[in-house]
Amino acid sequence: MTIILNGERFELDSPLSVTALLAKLDIDPRRVAIEHNLNIIKRQTYPDVLIGEGDTVEIVNFVGGG
């Protein structure tokens, strides 16, 4: 199945939770913020929010800037 992850098409085998997606991408959940279909997802709900076909996901963190 295909989702849009950070603006690019991304392939997944099946729907999965935000927690599972972060684990798959090797991303530390404590250091990021997630937007799922334009909704900001609270950290405590990461295990419960399911990402499915056609969903849009944004994963952001802090980088150097002014």
Partner 1 sequence: MADSPFVIAGRTFKSRLIVGTGKYPSHVVMAQAHAAAGAEMVTVAVRRVNISDRSKESLLDYIDDKIFILPNTAGCYTADDAIRTARLGREAGLSNWVKLEVIGDERTLFPDNEALIEATRVLVNEGFIVLPYTNDDPIACRKLEDVGASAVMPLGAPIGSGLGIQNANNIRIIREFSKVPVIVDAGVGTASDAALAM
Residues that bind partner 1 (CB under 8 A): 5-8, 10, 25-28, 31-35, 38, 40-43, 58-66
- Closest distance to partner 1 from the beta carbon of 35 (Å): 6
- Closest distance to partner 1 from the beta carbon of 58 (Å): 7
The first and second tokens of residue 55, run together, are 């969903």
Beta bridge partners of 34: 41, 59
- Closest distance to partner 1 from the beta carbon of 14 (Å): 19
**Closer residue to partner 1 in complex, CB, 14/61:** 61
* Residues 10-34 as b or e (16 or more Cβ within 10 Å = b): bebeeebebeebbeeeeeeeeebeb
